[in-house]
Amino acid sequence: MNIEKIIEPYIEIQGGLIPALHAVQNDTGYLDIQSIKTIADGFNISTAEVIDVITYYDDFRLEKEGQYIIKVCQAEACQSLGCRALLDTLKHHFELNSGETSNDHLVTLKEVFCLGNCALSPSVMINEDIIGRASSEKILAYLSEKKNNSNND
């Protein structure tokens, strides 16, 4: 969909920039410089002002990320049941550091703080699915099942 169309409803509302950024990113996967320029024009602000907002928030991405964004919770409740070791295992398995994306753009590994699933720690979020009582085995099984399903489609 074209960017102008996507952001149109948000220009009308007060403080519509962040919802507009979400909408564009949901559609295109990340915010490239061309989209940013279009958004800036639409909102009648400078590209610097748009980038200023984008770079403040962890959710907004300036580069293409993996098909599966794996967010490993590193907050206190998950710490109490070994989330630091879990992150290390995943880093080792994917050969990625936090914040990095694999070369084939399949996986992005991220650290986050609290997914609100603290009674079933440790928690991991893959795209919009949350995995409780997470282990590296559980996460890899989840990914291979997703991959199988998408191959069968």
Partner 1 sequence: MTDQIKIYIPKETSACSVGSELIAEKITDLAQGHKHISIIRNGSWGAFWLEPFIEIEKNGNRKGTSYLNKKISHLSSIEELFDDFYNSNPFNIMDIDFIKHQTRLVFSRIGLYDPLDLNQYRNSHGYKGLEKSFEIGQQQTIDEIKKSGLNGRGGAAFPTAIKMQTVLDQESTIKYVACNADEGDGGTFSDRLIMECDPYSLIEGMTIAAYSVGANHGYIYLRSEYPLAKYFLTEAIKILKSHNLLGKNILGTNFSFDIELRIGAGSYVCGEETAMMESIEGKRGLVRSKPPLPAIKGLFNQPTLINNVITLASMSVILLHGKEIFSQFGSGKSVGTMPYQLCGNIKQGGLIEVPFGITLNEMIYDFGAGTFNEKPIHAVQIGGPLGIYLPAYLLNTPLTIEALMDLKGSLGHGGVIVFDDSTNMALQAKFAMDFCAVESCGKCTPCRIGSVRGVELIDKIYNGTAVKADRILLEELCETMETTSLCAMGGMTPNPVRSIIKYFPNEMIV
Q: Which residues here bind partner 1, judged by CB under 8 A?
A: 13-19, 21-22, 52-53, 56-60, 75-81, 112-121, 123, 125, 128-133
Nearer to partner 1, 103 or 150 (CB): 150
Instruction: Give min distance, CB of 66 to partner 1, in A.
Output: 17
Instruction: Give min distance, CB of 13 to partner 1, in A.
Output: 8
Instruction: Give min distance, CB of 125 to partner 1, in A.
Output: 7
d(CA 152, CA 98): 31
Nearer to partner 1, 107 or 115 (CB): 115
Instruction: Give min distance, CB of 11 to partner 1, in A.
Output: 11
Nearer to partner 1, 103 or 149 (CB): 149
Nearer to partner 1, 26 or 150 (CB): 26
Phi, psi of 88 (to 5 degrees): -60, -45
